[in-house]
């Protein structure tokens, strides 16, 4: 069942809800990362990852940030968000940290949100849009959503770890 979201700029009062959405949406991603790396490496390499992502959300939502954050509401409740940045010199827009609350995933909200953000990028004069999802299985739903929004081709990337 598709829900029709209403998109609007982030408001300071949204921040706690955006953190709730981020935490819920990324919980399986961080669990997947820990599983892929194993306890020894993950315990060191990912020790601060969730806190760092929370701090990133705080930074992109800061009124002094160059990023823009869009909130998606369904039935008066914020259920998703998307940060974007614009490089006006290079004419490249980037979709940054974004998430749809798990209770609302699979209902077309993410695709509609990306379409909305991409339209804003076009209106701002951007010629290319980028997004950088992870390549692991936990990011497969995000990659499918980006593909539905027209993203592709992709440059594969690998990030490798080793215990010392």
Contact (CB, 8 A) for 164 and 41: no
pLDDT, one tens digit for every residue, the chain (164 residues): 567 899 999 999 999 999 999 999 999 999 999 999 999 999 999 999 999 999 999 999 998 888 899 999 999 999 999 999 999 999 999 999 999 999 999 999 999 999 999 999 999 999 999 999 988 899 999 999 999 999 999 998 888 999 99
**Would you state the structure tokens that stand for residue 115, as one six-digit string?**
């379409």
| pLDDT of the residue at 157 | 87
Cα–Cα distance, 85 to 66 (Å, whole number): 7
Q: Which residue has the tokens 């827009």?
A: 93
Cα–Cα distance, 115 to 163 (Å, whole number): 41
Domains of the chain from N-terminus onward: 6-148 (3.40.630.30)
Phi-psi bin for 155: left (phi > 0), alpha (psi -120 to 50), beta?
beta
pTM for the structure as a whole: 0.93
């Amino acid at each position: 069942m598709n829900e029709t979201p209403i998109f609007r700029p982030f408001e300071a009062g949204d921040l706690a809800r955006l953190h709730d959405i981020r935490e819920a949406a990324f919980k399986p991603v961080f669990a997947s990362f820990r599983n892929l790396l194993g306890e020894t490496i993950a315990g060191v390499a990912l020790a601060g990852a969730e806190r760092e992502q929370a701090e990133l959300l705080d930074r992109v939502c800061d009124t002094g940030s160059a990023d823009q954050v869009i909130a998606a509401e369904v039935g008066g409740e914020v259920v998703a968000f998307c940060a974007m940045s614009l490089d006006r010199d290079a004419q490249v827009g980037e979709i940054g940290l974004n998430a749809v609350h798990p209770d609302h995933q699979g209902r077309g909200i993410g695709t509609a949100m990306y379409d909305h953000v991409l339209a804003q990028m076009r209106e701002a004069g951007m010629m290319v849009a980028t997004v950088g999802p992870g390549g692991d299985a936990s990011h497969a739903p995000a990659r499918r959503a980006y593909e539905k929004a027209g993203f592709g081709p992709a440059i594969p990337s690998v990030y490798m770890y080793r215990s010392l």
